[in-house]
């Protein structure tokens, strides 16, 4: 787990990753979301936990995810987040954007 191998998330990409993580439709709490992101990215992406919660609240305010209290796998009360319909649309939009952007950057990097 070397320091060099980890990448801080780009500004704005955290929102996209959160939405993607919730795409399956299963409700997840904050901890699970951050674990999932790190796990899937094979620990390359490090979620700044300090910005995770403000981001979740922001998405909730935008109406893209909604939160409700539930019981965690360990029997503790936790706040579970779920994708809303408009969140799903937003995810598609942002995924498209991201793909276009990364493709473009990729092309530039290869050409130059």
Partner 1 sequence: MNRHDLLLRIRGLFLRRRVEEELDEELRFHLEMATRKNAAKGASGAEAARLARVRFGGLDPVKEECRNVRGTQLIESTIRDIGYALRGFRRSPLFVVTVIGTIALGLGLNTAVFTLFNYIVLRPFPVRDPYSLYAFTWADRLHREQAFSWHEFENFRKNNPAFSEVAAFHYFFARAEGRPLTGALVTGNYFQMLGGGATLGRTLLPEDTSAPGREPVMVLSYAAWQSKFGGDPNILGRKLALHGYPLVVVGVTQPGFGGLDAAPIEYWAPITMTPLLENGLNIFGSENSALPLIVGRLKRRISISQAEADLAGWTRQVTADRPESERAARAFLRSKATVVRLSAKVLAVFSPLAAAVGLVLLLACANVANMMLARAMARQREIGIRLSLGADRKRLVRQLLTESLLLAVPAGLAGFLVSRVAIEVSLRIMFATLPPNLVEIAPRISLPPDIRVFGFMLFAALVSALVFGLAPAVQSTRADVMLAARGEFTSDIRPMRLRNTLVVVQITVCALLLITSGVLIRGEGSMRSFDVGFRTHGVIAMFVAEKSRPLVMARIRSEPMVQAVATASSIPLDGILPPLSISAGEGTKVFDAWYNHVSPEFFSLLEIPILEGRNFTADEARSGAPVAIVSELTARRLWPKGDALGHEIFTRQDGKPSPQYPAARVIGVARNIISCSIPYGPDPPLIYFPAATSKHALLLRVNGNVDIARRKLETELATLGSEDIEESHTIEQSFALSVYPFRAASWVGSMLGGLALLLTVSGIYGVLSYLVTQRTKEIGIRMALGASTRAVTGLVMRQSMRLAAVCIGLGIALALGVSHWFASHLVFVNTFDVFAYGGGVLLVAAASVAAAYVPSRRAARVDPLTTLRYD
With CB under 8 A as the contact rule, the residue among 3, 77, 85, 110 that binds partner 1 is 77
> Which lies closer to partner 1 via its Cβ, residue 57 or residue 100?
57
> Which lies closer to partner 1 via its Cβ, residue 23 or residue 62?
62
Smallest distance from partner 1 to CB 102, Å: 28
Smallest distance from partner 1 to CB 53, Å: 6
Long-range CB contacts (within 8 A, 24+) of 67-72: 68/27, 70/27, 72/29
**Residue numbers 47-76 binding partner 1 by CB under 8 A:** 48-51, 53-54, 57-58, 60-63, 66, 69, 72, 76
Burial 25-60, CB ≥16 within 10 A → b, else e: eebbbbebbbebbeeeeeeebbbeeeebeebbeebb
Candidates 6-14, 25-33, 91-99, 102-110; binding stretch for partner 1 (CB under 8 A) = 25-33
- Angle subtended at Cα 68 by Cα 38 and Cα 37, rounded to the nearest 5 degrees: 5
In degrees rounded to 5, what are phi and psi of residue 81?
A: -110, 145
Residues that bind partner 1 (CB under 8 A): 29-31, 48-51, 53-54, 57-58, 60-63, 66, 69, 72, 76-79
């Amino acid at each position: 787990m070397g320091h060099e191998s980890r990448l801080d998330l780009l500004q704005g990409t955290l929102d996209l990753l959160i939405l993607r993580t919730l795409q399956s439709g299963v409700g997840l709490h904050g901890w699970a979301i951050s674990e999932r992101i790190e796990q899937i990215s094979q620990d390359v992406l490090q979620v700044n936990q300090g910005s995770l919660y403000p981001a979740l609240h922001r998405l909730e305010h935008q109406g893209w995810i909604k939160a409700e209290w539930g019981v965690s796998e360990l029997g503790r009360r936790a706040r579970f987040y779920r994708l809303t319909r408009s969140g799903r649309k937003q995810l598609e939009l942002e995924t498209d954007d991201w793909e276009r952007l990364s493709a473009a950057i990729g092309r530039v990097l290869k050409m130059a």
